[in-house]
Structures are given as C-alpha cells and as structure tokens.
Structure 1
Amino acid sequence: MNFGKRGIVKQAKTLNSGTSKWGKKLSLFGLYIMLSLIIGLVIIGASAGIGVFNGIIATAPDIGNIDVTPSGFSTFVYDTDGNQIAKLVSTDSNRIPVTMDMVPENLTHAFVAIEDARFYDHNGIDIQGIIRAAVRGITSGHFSEGASTITQQLLKNNVFSGWTNESKLQSVKRKIQEQYLAIQLEKKMSKEDILINYMNTINLGSNTLGVQAASLRYFNKPVSELTLSECAVIAGITQNPSKFNPITHPEKNAERRNKVLKNMLEQGYISQIEYDQAMADDVYSRIQNVNQETGGDDTVNSYFVDALTNEVLEDLMAAGYTETQAYTLLYSGGLKIYSTQDPKIQKICDDVYLDESNYPEGTKYLLSYKLSVQSADGTVTNHSSEMYSAYYKEQNKNFNMLYSSKEDAEAAIEAYKEAVMTEGDTVLAERIDLTPQPQVCITIEEQSTGYIVAMVGGRGEKTASRTLNRATDSYRQPGSTFKVISTYAPGIDSAGLTLATVFNDAPFAYSNGTLVRNWWGSEYRGLNNVRTAIRDSMNVIAVEAITLITPQLAFDYLKNFGFTTLVEHEVINGKPFSDIQQATALGGLTKGVKNYELNAAYAAIANGGVYIEPKLYTKVVDHDGNVILDNTEAKSKRILKETTAFLLTSAMQDVVNGGTGSSVNFGTTAIAGKTGTTSDYVDVWFAGYTNYYTATTWTGYDNNAKMKDPAEKNFSKTMWRKVMSKIHEDLPYSSFSVPDGIVSATVCSRSGKQPIAGLCDGTLYTEYFEEGTVPTASCDVHYAGTMCAIDGLPATENCPFKTTGVFELTPEVPPALQSGFVDYTPANSAYTTVTDENGNTTQVLNTCHHTYEFMMQEGIDGILAQEQAAAQAAAAQANPEAAAEQPPAEAVPEDVAAGN
C-alpha cells in the first residue's frame, strides 16, 4: 500500500467517492435479503415438515383400536383319546399361543439381549440405538443397521402388516408412525405383555410363527422345556429366519446363537458357567435328529382329516361364514377340532391297507401324464393324458393307460416323447403320476352314535392333503348292495313284503324289453322267497320286487337313507336321466354313490332303523375357548320300523353264514352284510355290520377297467374281514337281539303261505314276521290231483296225458308284474283271481287245454301224437335219462272220441 502524500490523497478521494458508498450499501442490502430468504425458507420448511409429521401422525392407527395380539394361529385336530392327529397350517398361521408363565426366563432374556438391550429402560423407542445407527450410517455410507425396539417390531408385525412391499417413502411414513405408536403403546401395555405378544408373533423359520411352534418344530417339545442353549438358537433366528434357520443353515445360526449367549453374559442375564455349558452343547445334532424323526412340517394329512376339514368348512359356511371367512378361520383361527376318529381302529385300517402283501398279485399302475414342450422358435405345446392315450390307441384300441410296472410306463413315456418331439425341442415341464390299481377305500362307523371312527380313501403313498378321497369324493355304482336298501327295505317296511314272500325267478324283462339276467348265468331257479333272494343276491327277483313296490317308493326310501347323489330327473348331454327306475334295484344309478353314504345307510339298519347323519367331529372350539360348532347332538330320524331292520338283519346274516358273503365271517361275533358287484366286476363292495360297528369296503379301478382275477373280485370281502376281525378281537360276542313286535311262524317255503297238511310237509320252514303280517292264506303252489304232462297244469277230466300225484303249480302273478314275464299269459298261472259283483275275490283253478271241445276236433289223434312227440323231445333235451322212462300217453277215451 502507498502511504505517501499522493497515496493518502488518492485513498481519501476513493473513500469519499459516491459510487463506492452506493456499492457497499447495495451489497449489504443484498446480504440482508439473502439472509431473510434463507430464514424464510427454513421457517417454511420447518413448518411444512411439522405439518407433514403431524399429518403422518394423524393418519396413524388409533392406539385405542390397536390390537397387537397375533391373529393367525394353527388349528389342531384331536382324536377321541385326546391325541393330536393333525395341525392345519396356512400362511401366517403356524402359531401356537403361550402365556408368560409357560416361557422360560432364559428365552425372554435371550430375545431382549439380542434384539433390544434397553427394552426395560426405554419408552418404546431407543434414542441411543437411533443415534448409533445414524452415526454408523453416516460413517459407512450404509444405513442398513436397524434401531427398532421389540415394541416397534410387535407393531410392525401385527399392525403394519404390509411393510414387506412398501416403497422408500412409505417406509419413512411407517417408521414415523411406528415410533409414535410405540410410545403410545407402552403407556397402555406392560413390558411383560408386549414381550409375550412379541414372542407369540415373530417368524422363526420353517413356517413357524411364535416360540411354541418353533420349539415343537426344532426340538419336538414345548417351549417350557427349552434349555439355555436351545433358547439362544430360537432367539438367534429372528433377525433373518431364512439365513439363520437352524435346520438348513446350522452354521449361520451357530454364529448368531453365540452372539446371543455373549450378549446375555455381558448384560448379566447368565453366569460364565452357564455360558460355557451352553456353548459346549451339541444342539444342532439334536435339531437334525428331530427333523428326520418328525419329517418336518411337510406332513400330509390323512384321508380322515381331509374329509374332516371339508365337513368343518361346509358347517362353518352353513353357520353364516363366507367361504373366505370359513377357510381363514379353519387354517388361521387357532381352532381345536375334536374328531370322532378312534385311534386304535384307524391304526388297524392303516396297517391293513398300507400292507402291500395284503393286495392281489399283479398290481397295475394307472398313468396320468402332462408334458409341456418348447420348440426352437419359442412355440409351446402342451400334451395331456388324453393326447397321450389317443396316440397309443392308434396302435392298440384297447389301450387304457394301465401298465404292469412303473418301468413299463416310464419306457412308454420316453417313446412318446421321442415320437412327438423334434430336434431343437426342449421339455419345459413334465408331470408323471402313477397310481397303483386296483384302488380301495373303507369307512367304519359306530352306528349307535353316527361317529365315523376310521377311514381310508385310497391305496399307495398319499403325496398331498385334500387329494381324491375315494371314501367321500368318488361316485361308484353300488351294485347288489342296493337290493336291500332300495327294494327289500321299503318292500318289507311299507309295501306288504315279508321274508317269506315268494317270487318266480323266470325270464323277466325291464319295461324297455331288456331281459334281466342273474349274475350266475342264464339258469333260472323258479320259486324263491325274499330271504333266499337276499342270501343268493338274485337279480331277477330284485327287479320283480322293485317293480311290484314301484320304483318311486324305492327312490323315496333311498332319499331317507341319506344319499345325496341320486337323480330324480336330470338332462345330461341332452338326454333325460332318472333313478326312479327298475334298474335301481340292482344299483344301476345315473351317477353312483359315495362310500361313506352307503355305509351310513347300512348303519341305519344296524341301528334298528334309525338313521344318524354320519359325523367326523363333535365340536369345534375357537382360539379363545368358545364353542363355534357344536356337533355333539345326533341328527337322527327313524326311517325304518325296528322290526323291518331286524328282518333285514336276519336275512343278511344268511348272506354271511352261507350266502355270497360267507368268506367275511370271522366267527367271533354275529355279522350281517351284503355283497355288491356291478357288471364285469367294475365295482365290488361289501357292506356289513356287527352290534358294534358298520363297515363298507370298495374295490375297483379308477378308470373303470374290469377286474378279472379272482383275488381282485373278492378283495372287498378280504379286506373287510381283515379289518373287522382285528377290531373285534377283544370285543365280546354279541348276537342281534329280537325286538318287540317280531313273531315266528311256520310257512311253506314254496308259496310263503300257510302250509297244507299232507301237501307241504317237505317244504316247511320257520320264518320271522312282523306281528300282524303272518300270512293267513293257504299254500297255492302245492296241488294234489291229476296233472297234464303237456301243459303242467291241473288236468281236465278228458286230458289224455294226466298223471296223479302231488304237484307244484306256479302261483298267480300280480298284475303289476305280468307284463314283465316273457311269454306270459294268464294260463301260465295255476289260478286266476275272479272278482264278483260285490267285490269279493276268489281263485279259480286253471286247467289244461284238453277240454271237451278240444278233444272233439277232427284229427285229434294226430294232434295228440304231435303234442306227445314235442313233449318227449323237450324232456329229452332237458334230461335225456328221464326222457327214456317217459310213459306213453293214455288212449283217448272212446266216449269222447264218439262225441258222447
């Protein structure tokens, strides 16, 4: 700087310059304005920030309405002995609540030590933790370290449930609300309550929520029995349930467990000795052993539990829940379902049906196949089982997707892929299901209560829950099991039939003209009573009986028996169908029946005619112990008279003691039952009962293939005996009691009526009847006198072919049946009913055609010779030895020939 005279003068001029003064003033003014703007912006920003903050807080849930109690809990199913038989789990539901007194102190300390060391000191948010996390974030550039308290985590899991999919802005908003509510929550809830709700809420890996579910999953014991080391394992999972899963990542969990134990030691929760002992514990070997023994949580529910869950869902919806609500409640509501399953009986069924040595040799495998192929140009082609079948049917029209071995099926699949794939094609997806055949099912019910005590819905490994259950889901034709419940039950109960009622097993046709055939072939057995028809499962007589009582009556009774699959009138593919038809007597139905419904129908007979709706549970209790479904009271109704039930039981005892079902008789108690076989042995059944239980077995191919092997044809009876004999091993012998209203009487077995002394002596038998139904009419089958050898009718006075003796005549056929008999004319019967003008009826004996007028016609000698020759030819064809002894016809009386 110049301090000379000139310099000083120059400086003075500069200082006194107006330009310089104004420049300084403007600069200072600009500075003031800038400072004002900055201050204004700060004030505005602060105000806006406060406004936003207040807005965020204002939109937070009302602390008064917040419930941090976890809402998703596993549902448990119990058998009749109180054993847990299933756990129903869905997303966010594998949780079992516990109270603080059930939780070891070491576990609560472990969570506090690793998750929130100042939990007992802060007011809901940890200021020190927030500052620590911020400092580390600034210094490292990574803001990944959390500072959430246990209280905040509880809110995050139970109030802010959508945080896993939120944006960064939503995350900031949620964090602010979370911290605000954490402070508010701690004002209304104790630390202990917050901690127990937290421990019941947290995700602990392997689809477990809460400490009890985790304890059972990893250590197979309740949380109250956890050791210090085990507590540390569970607490160590929380930060990252996948990464620190002790089953899949034991080494990572071990690092975390060690940190938990170290924190507990440093925070004074455990001593050095406890720390050293826990660190030395080989806890992960135990975890792996438990995982192998229990099979984890990938348990597949049994057929019984599958049926049970479906029934509970239906009942919940019937009680007013929507389908979604019912499903959520069942799988996430923490319900307790008390089932009707008897563990001993279910085990017997499982042991018998899982033992492949019990099955017939030559097991076949039914293939279900799906294939997705992508070509080189990206086009995707999907191949179905139908396409696969069509391909092989071009080579063999009888191809039915059945293979004699899994290896054969796999070879055929490879050949198919080679045929349909070209160079450059790749397999995107392929699904191969091979189901062993024939298939099976069984339902066992305690008929006095309606409890279904055991069920098996199929053969082979069950790979998933709620799959096809053949006991409850499949519609199969019931065959001859329907004869008793569709025809003889209503016939005896209200249509005048008795066990002694006689029908004629002779050529008989349905109303459409189709001939009814017996299962044993073309032979007919003539006159037989209802008892014998039941014992030998006679088709023709069953159809005659339903025709007589009417198919409508049969249908009405079947509805009362509880069948839900019957068709009254329905159009299917443009064609009308109805089960109000004659074929219903033989189990020829539009859709078929379900095994457990058929079993319930027979249980009604076993229960003295009282039908009880079959049940799989008695009650369902919610998470808080309230009964939401009470199924204890039996839903019952009388559908048959007690006397009818006894009469049917008596006849079905004959089935077991000497009829078509004799092979099921294990001999330690009284048994009644009925076989059932459809055409070509597509479906084979046995439905039977003792005084204790009713069981129904079914065997068949899922694709309706015919069973040809004798062992397959008899398999339902084989398995019924194997199961029921074991069930009754320790049960005392119990005979079927005769109820009041039952009497016995001796009747003629050929007519079912009062016997005639001297005529019916060789055909007498004693039968049970409902009181008041003992027949009063005399036998109309046996006849003493002369018989025409040509007509088989009582001979006229002029008959040249008469023989003398005691003969059997065909009784009059009821009018309702006459049109069904092939070539029937009134003259086929021995008697004709005649009604006089007063309405009185009498039976007039029919005689042969050799009347006076017939015998007086021209050329009678030749006519008689032709009749005799025809009769001898027919006799020779039927019985050559007897025909050789045929006596010659009597000479035509001279007075007749002369016309006198």
Structure 2
Amino acid sequence: MKFLAGSFRIIIWGFIALICAIVLICSAIYLYLGPSLPSVESLKTVQLQTPLRIYSADNKLIEEFGELRRTPLTYEEIPPRFVQALISVEDRSFETHVGVDAKGFIRAVLEFVSSGEKGGGGSTLTQQVAKNFFFSNKKQFTRKFREILLALQMERILTKREIFELYANKMFFGHRAYGIQAAAQVYYDKDINDLTLAEIAMIAGLPQRPSRANPLSYPDAALKRRNKVLSDMLELGYITEPSYQRAIKAPLTAGNQQNTEKRDFTAPWVAEMVREEMLKRYGDDSYSAGFRVYTTINSKLQNAANVAVQRGLLDYDRRHGFRGAYRKVPVDASLSQTEQWEKWEGILSDEPDFGGLSPAIVTQVEDSQLTVLLADENTVTLPLTKLKWAQRYLNHSLKGAAVSKASDVADIGDMVWLERRDNQWLLAQIPAVQGAFVATNPNNGAIQALVGGFDFRQNKYNRVIQAERQPGSNIKPFLYSAALAKGFTPATIMNDSPITIVDPVLETTWRPKNSGYVFDGPIRLREALYRSKNVVSIRILQNIGINYAINYISKFGFDPSKLPNNLTLALGSASITPMKIMEGYSVIANGGYKVTPYVIQRIEDVSGNILFENHPATVCRSCSQSAAAEPPPVSVEPLNPDGTLVNKSVSQPRDNPVAPRIIDENTMYIMNSILRDVIKKGTGRRALSLGRSDIAGKTGTTNDGVDAWFSGFNPDIVATAWVGFDQPQSLGGIEWGGLTALPIWLDFMQVALEGKPEKILPQPSGIVTVRIDPKSGLLARPGQKDAIFEIFPKDRVPTEQASEKVNITVEREPTEEELQQAIEGQGSPQSDQSQITAPELLF
C-alpha cells in the first residue's frame, strides 16, 4: 500500500510539474510574443478591401471594379440560418469557448514538443478570424501560438457577434468572392437572405476548402460537403428531419455569375469615365477602399439610349445590304443531327453577344425560309419576307440583286447574328458603322444617358467625348444666334442664290451648294435655318464677320482654336465632339445660361461619408445675375490609411451656385422658336411623330454624308445623336441627319418625354409678336390674307409696311471667264442685274 501511495504521489506531483511547466512555457511564450501581437482594437474599425462601386442617380448598380468581390454585412443582416449552418460545421462550441479549443491547444503544444512543427485542425472561428486578418497561412508553431494568444484577446475585447461578423465578411469563398454576401451573388446571383437551406449549406461549407470543394470546379466534392453541413445542422437540432430531407435532395444550382450584384441596366462608357476619374483622385486605392460613386445617370433613360443607338445602327446597316456570314462553321457529315447540333451549341455558347445580338448557326435552307440554331438549343425560322433586306453589300451606296429565295442569303453552317425586336427574331449583322449619344439636363448639366458606341466589349472608344467630328449644319443655330445678336431678325430677307468664292492665294474658287442643289432666291432668315440653307449661312457669316462669329460661337462652350477662321465655319467644318455639341445646345434649351456637363454627383467612402459632392451651376431665371458664379472648385478630400475621410465636415450641404447668363434671353427665345419650326416644317419633321409642340432641334450632315447628326431638346432635356465611321468615309448617298441620326434621338425621346407635360420657355418681356408680309419681312398690310405672325425684339420691329412690289437686284453666278480674271487679279466677277418682286436682300 505504501508503494502504491508513493507512486500515486509521484504521479500527482509529476502532473502538477507538467502543468507548471506548461504554464511556465506559455508564460514565457506570452512574454516573448505578447509585445509583438497586433492590436485587437483595430478590428473594431477595420476596413475590409471592398471594390469600387458605381451607381446611377436612382441607386442602381452600374459597375464595380476591384480584384476582391465583397459586400460587407452587419451581424443583423446575416440570416440566422446561416449562423447556425456555419457554427454547425466550423465551431460547435463558438458560443461558449473563450477563443481557443482546449484539445486543439494541447495537440499543438505536444506536436511542437515532439517535432517542432504545427499540425492542422482545431481552429475556432475566433482563431480563423485572427489568422485571416493578421497572419499568413504558413504552418509555423510561433504563428499558431500568436494566433491563439490573439484569439484569447479578441474574446475579451469583442463580442461574439462582432467576431462572427468579421468572419462572415472576411473569409474567402472561392472565385474571388470574399464574404458570404459576395458568395451568394457569385454562385447564385442572389442576396444572402434569398438563399434556400441547401444553398446556405453549400456556402457554409466553402471556407475550409474554397478551391477544392466549390460547386463550380468540383461539384461532387461540393455536394458531399453541403450534405455534411446539413447533417450537422440536423444533429444539433437546427433543422427538422423533413427540412433535411428536402435540402439533401436538392440539385446543385450554382452558376458562375459574372458580376457580384445583378445589373438592371448597362452604362459601360459611363463606368469607364468614372473609373478613370477615381484613379486620378485616389490612385490604386480606388479599387479596394470601398468607394461608392453616385452618378447623374437615370437608369430608365440609359436603357432607352442603349436600345436607341443599337437599333439606329442596325437599321442603317440593313439599308446598305448584307455582308454575309459572320463566319463559316464546319459541317461534319459523319455526325448525326443531334451530335452536330450539340457541337454547334458548344461553339455558340463560346461566342460573345454584341449589342444585344445573339449568334446562331444556319441548320436548314429552304426557298422560303432559313432555320437557325441558338446557343440555348432553340431553333428559329426566318421567313423570306424578313430576309428581303439582305441583298449583297457592294459598297455604301450600292447593293446586289434582289433576294428571291433564302439560299441567296445564307448556307447551312453559316454563323449569323439575330436581333430580338418586337417579340420576333430578325436577321442582323454587327454594324461596321458607329454612333454616339448623350443626353443631359440643360438646367444644371447633369448627364442622364451616355452611349459611346455600338458595344463596349467590341470597342471601348468613347465617341461622345473622344471623337472630334465635323458637325455640318448642326453648327448653324450658333451662327444664326450670332447674327440675331448683331441685329438680324427672323424676318430678315436673305439671298438664297448661287455664290462663288474666290481665293487668290490658293488660286481656287469655291461654289458651295444647298442640299439638292435647290436655290429659292429671297428667303426669310427663319426659313433659311429650318430648311438648312447652306448658301444663306455663308452669306450671314460674310456679313457678321468671321472673327465676330468665332468669338460669339465660343460662348456656347466651343474651343475657339478649333473653329476654322474661314467661311467653311458656316457649314460646320470644325472638329467637335458630341459632348461639346450637346453642351452648346444646352444653352439654347435653357434660354442662354452656361452649364457644364458632369456625371459624378457624389463620392462616398466605405462608411458612407461624403468625400465629394457636385454642386453644379444651376439655371435660376428669378435670381439676380449678381448671384451667378462658376461652380465651386473640385477638391479631393484627404483620407485616413483605412480609406475613411479625415475631415468629415466636408459633407455639409451647400447651395448650388446660379448659372451665369452668357447669351441674351431675347436671342435664345427667338432661336428656340426657329428650331421648333425645324420640327414642324423643316428637316426634322420626322419628330412630329412625338405629337408635341415643345420640341426643337437641328439636323446635321457633312460633305459626302460622312457624319450625320441630330441635336434636339425641350426645356428639360437636351440630347445629341451622331452616326459615322471611325475612319471617316461616306455613309452612302441616301444617308443624312434626318434619316440616320434623328431616329436614334426620336426613339430615346419617346421614353424620356413619356407622361411629361409640354413645356416651352417663357416669352421674355423684350419680345413682341407682330403680323408681317412673308415675302418681304415687313409689316403686313391691313387685311393682307397671307400675313403671318413673327416675333421680334421690341427695338427691332419693322417700321415699314410692305408694298405690293419692291424692285431688287439679285446677283447671278459669274462666268468662268470672269472667275479666271478675278483669280489673276484682273478684276472682280461681275453680275447681271435682274428685276424681281422682293424686298431688299442681304448678300
């Protein structure tokens, strides 16, 4: 008995000694490693790497940029079912332990004593948080011990909810998804709260093996892991047996979503503009600091612009013929139809969509129709009546023979493109032509829609802000405004007759022509503009002077150095971007005020602090112009290292400055009136289909139809559409602004103005309406039946009454002999004088 008692005492003392040794070792390690441990307090304010997100004005996601996909959640936003699932499989004692699993701790010590190396397993959720925030994955005992010590500290300082929240937002779930919300979006395109029990279990099982057990790369391993989670939840009483049975039988439904949040619309050129601006402001931190940028884009109007541009370019393409199959896909005669189709479906699924078009392969050709296969395994029949447009393209002005049977268009194995329009499939092709469209609020410059081309993935070139093109007649409203400011009126009579301009320096002559080579003789200035008379524009420029015109036109926002210092300015030979054209028309639309287009409304940091907010100069007709000021300078506020705002006081609201008046209100009211006539009876008559009287605009077409434009507006929205080739060339003889660009503007405006009341600028007190003689522009005679109403500034109302006849001379075009004499300096071209019934003409 004494021997046994002695042995027992030895065992007891040995155990005590071992415990003491362990305590001493732990204390020594703590004293050694403790000072180098990171601060747990920093976890309370930690900023997770979060991508840059760009939103529309109505809070819809446009795009996100960044390597890591993450959408942080608070604990209250995490569904309880997910908390249960994760605890079941990762850390059953999470609610009761102090940060460390005792068994795992002892095993780690023993492994160190025996081998000096650390083995796997035993980590609590708290330890995993410590490791993922502060340590690498390298298996070293010192790292493991530091992890344990830090976990103990975390449990003293942080609540269980705070620790779980950090875990749920930090952990990697595969496929660039960090955090449970990103995982839900990546795998299921859902919010975490919308997942089924089976889907929750799938995500809860990912953190341990995010690469080797995710449902996309290793579906069998993922299914096994999911069922393990469900089994653990059943064992712990978190779910019932029926719920378990339903969930375990659920099929895998995960799919790789391209984006972490569902996009309701696309605005890729806008997103790229914002991304570039953020890089200028914040550098590479833009991609990881969790910035949220709210733009001025209206998602409904952006959708309308996307559709309008794509349809407009597709319609242009159809008018010029079919260029043939996109590519030829081999037909394998040794395969059955099922095998051949399966092979083709694989080819189609790898082919990207462009501009809303879907690739398809021709599977059957009959005289009266084509049958094509889509990537979704469906077939579509294209009847001959829908193929008639597909005459062979020869050049932009010439097509091949008429289509008489479907085989004239395509053969079996041809890959073609289909457009879905008005609930039917149509044969299409990716346009070679390009376009641009931009719309803004003319009262503050807020850009509401912007499209830089047919498809961003096809070509990222932003033609709205980068393509400097000749505007053609789109420039004329600015020239005519300059004339109105210098004393012309809408009733001023101009001479629409041939004109020849001699350049003795170049020894050349220039004979500008009107569209259609039609000259109407005496014509009122109003009619000359709404009918877009080129010769009249040149005569106006000759009268007011080129330098005066350039200085005046530059008030609308155009760079004077880019305006040609010669008479071609009158016909739009300058190189101007669609954005600048739209900016100029904003001044006309708002009645003469300077506004600057902008797309970023505000920038927030990850905590919602406002780093920058735009306060645009805004039109205020009732405000004193002494209050007008330029918009406040853009500033970049300083950030803390974690990406939050240093000086939070900048988020205080400020009033928008008053937009300065730059053009006389009488001039702009008259120009509004004339441009409404462009729609009513001029080159923009196609827009009458809107059934509104408050819209105005101007077409534009350059020489040889290289560029086609339409800019139009009402007092609340202004938009510009451009169509042309990136490498300038003719659009074809039949193309002009009213046919090519106006339909794009029209399709957009049908959406933008739907349900909106008509609105016209208020008539200034300095404008009066009088009856005039339409031929002379003078006051109408009493009882004159063909008299019309016209508006004038009060100080420019005609004082003379029209007579029955006025004798006036009209210049004839000089002869070749006279022109040659002028070039050689032997004289100037002479003109015959002929009598006409008309008032005095200007030039």
TM-score, with length taken from structure 2: 0.68
- Please say if 1:284 is aligned against 2:240: no
Structure 1 residues 204 and 482: alpha-carbon distance in aligned structure 2, compared to 1, 3 A threshold: same
> Does 2:690 correspond to 1:696?
no
**Shift in alpha-carbon separation, 1:221–1:49, aligned structure 2, 3 A:** closer
Aligned to 2:462: 469
The 8 Å contact of residues 307 and 472 in structure 1, kept in 2 or not, is answered as no
Tell me: CA distance 1:85–1:276, structure 2 relative to 1, closer, same or farther (3 Å).
closer
Show the counterpart of 1:808. Answer: 808
Shift of 1:742: 0.8
2:189–2:261 contact (8 Å) kept in structure 1 = no
Native 8 Å contact 2:189 2:260 kept in 1 = no
Indicate the SS of the match to 1:640. coil
Change (3 A) 1:491 1:301: farther
Task: Find out whether 1:626 has 2:573 as its counterpart.
Answer: no
Match of 2:471 in 1: 478
Does residue 491 in structure 1 map to residue 466 in structure 2?
A: no
Give how far 1:496 is off: 2.4
3-state DSSP of counterpart to 2:515: coil
Q: CA deviation at 1:747?
A: 5.3
Following superposition, the deviation at residue 234 of structure 1 comes to 0.9
Contact kept, 8 Å, 2:49 with 2:290, in 1: the verdict is: yes
**Separation in 1, partners of 2:399, 2:65:** 37
Q: Distance in 2 between matches of 1:258 and 1:349?
A: 47
Q: Could you say which structure has the larger radius of gyration?
A: 1
Q: Deviations over 1:95-134 (max 9, x none)?
A: 2221112222332232233333443444434342244468
**Distance in structure 1 (CA, Å) of the matches to 2:501 and 2:29:** 89
Q: Which amino acid is the alignment partner of residue 202 of structure 1?
A: M
User: Which whole-Å deviations, capped at 9, do the CAs of 1:549-605 have from their partners, x for residues lacking one?
Assistant: 344443344443234xx3627xxxxxxxx644433332212xx22223322321221
Contact kept in structure 2, 1:77 and 1:87, CA below 8 Å: yes
Moved more, 103-112 or 132-141: 132-141
Aligned to 2:700: 676
Counterpart-to-counterpart distance in 2, 1:775 and 1:216: 70
Distance in 2 between residues matched to 1:446 and 1:114, nearest whole Å: 55
Change (3 A) 1:198 1:529: same
Q: Distance in 2 between matches of 1:728 and 1:271?
A: 53
| Aligned twin of 2:238 | 270
Q: Distance in 2 between matches of 1:437 and 1:536?
A: 30
Q: Which has the larger displacement, 649-658 or 610-619?
A: 610-619
Instruction: Output the amino acid matched with 2:457.
Output: T
Amino acid at match of 2:99: G
In structure 2, runs of 5+ residues without a counterpart are 1-23, 328-393, 401-407, 415-428, 619-630, 632-658, 812-821
The one-letter amino acid of 2:67's match is T
Structure 1 residue identity aligned to 2:448: V
Q: 1:90 aligns with which of 61, 66, 72?
A: 66
Residues 278, 827 of structure 1: alpha-carbon distance in 2 compared, 3 angstrom cutoff: closer
> What is the CA distance between 1:251 and its match in structure 2?
1.9
Following superposition, the deviation at residue 66 of structure 1 comes to: 5.2
Distance in 1 of aligned mates of 2:662 and 2:324: 41
Matched length: 666
Aligned to 1:721: 746
Determine whether 1:501 maps to 2:492.
yes
Q: Distance in 2 between matches of 1:362 and 1:141?
A: 78
Offset at residue 650 of structure 1 (A): 1.5
Could you list the per-position Cα deviations for residues 364-423 of structure 1 after superposition, in whole angstroms to 9, with x for gaps in the alignment?
A: 779999xxxxxxxxxxxxxxxxxxxxxxxxxxxx999x9999999x99xxxxxxxxxxxx
Residue matched to 1:562: 557
Provide the alpha-carbon RMSD of the alignment.
4.7
Aligned equivalents of 2:323, 2:51: Cα separation in 1: 37
Note the alpha carbon deviations across 1:746-780, whole angstroms, 9 max, x for none: 5566665678x89x98997543112212355798x
- SS at the partner of 1:613? coil
Contact 2:62/2:267 (<8 A) preserved: no
Are residue 210 (structure 1) and residue 160 (structure 2) matched? no
Deviations 1:595-628 (A, max 9, x none): 2332232122111222332333533333222222
Asked if 2 retains the 8 angstrom alpha-carbon contact of 1:365 and 1:436, the reply is: no
Of 251, 258, 262, 2:220 maps to 251
Q: Any conservation in 2 of the 1:783–1:809 contact (CA below 8 Å)?
A: no
Partner of 2:50: 73
Per-residue CA deviations over 1:664-714 (Å, capped at 9, x if unaligned) read 321511121111011111110111123443222111122222111525762
Evaluate the alpha carbon distance shift between residue 522 and residue 277 of structure 1 in structure 2; reply closer, same or farther with a 3 A threshold.
closer
Q: Secondary structure at the match of 1:545?
A: helix
State the alpha-carbon separation in 2 of the partners of residues 231 and 177 from structure 1.
32
CA distance in 2, matches of 1:98, 1:661: 53
Preserved CA contact (<8 Å) 1:215 1:226: yes
In the superposition, relative to structure 1, how do residues 709 and 153 fare at CA in structure 2: closer, same or farther (>3 Å)?
Answer: farther
Aligned to 2:567, which of 577, 582, 593? 582
1:231 is paired with a residue whose SS is helix
Code of the aligned partner of 2:482? P
CA distance in 1 between counterparts of 2:198 and 2:566 reads 72
Residue type of the alignment partner of 1:323: G
Report the counterpart of residue 298 of structure 2 in structure 1: 342
- How far, CA to CA, are the matches of 2:293 and 2:284 in structure 1? 19
Partner of 1:533: 528
Question: Any idea what SS the aligned residue of 2:267 has?
Answer: helix
Residue of structure 2 in register with 1:603 after alignment: 586
Letter in 2 for 1:463: R
**2:277 maps to amino acid:** E
Would you say 1:314 and 2:277 are equivalent positions?
A: yes
| Contact 1:366/1:435 (8 A) holds in 2 | no
Deviation of residue 59 (structure 1)?
A: 4.3
- Specify the SS of the correspondent of 1:610: coil
| Cα gap change, 1:115 to 1:751, in 2 (>3 Å) | same
Distance in structure 1 (CA, Å) of the matches to 2:698 and 2:766:
25
Judged with a 3 Å threshold, the aligned counterparts in structure 2 of structure 1 residues 157 and 482 are, in CA distance, closer, same or farther, namely farther
**Per-residue deviation, residues 338-359 of structure 1 (Å, max 9, x unmatched):** 4433343333334444448744
> What does residue 389 of structure 1 align with?
none
- Equivalent residue for 2:191? 222
Greater relative contact order (Cα < 8 A, sep 6+): 2
Question: Is 1:452 aligned to residue 420 of structure 2?
Answer: no
Percent of residue pairs bearing the same amino acid type: 27
CA offsets 1:853-883 (integer angstroms, 9 cap, x no match):
xxxxxxxxxxxxxxxxxxxxxxxxxxxxxxx
**For the Cα contact (< 8 Å) 2:269–2:451, is it kept in 1?**
no
What secondary structure does 1:310 align onto?
helix
Equivalent residue of 1:655, what SS? helix
Q: Per the alignment, in what secondary structure is the counterpart of residue 637 of structure 1? A: coil
The code of the aligned residue for 1:273 comes to: E
List runs of 5+ in structure 1 lacking aligned partners: 1-46, 370-397, 412-433, 570-577, 785-805, 812-820, 832-843, 845-900
CA contact (8 A) 1:509 1:515 kept: yes
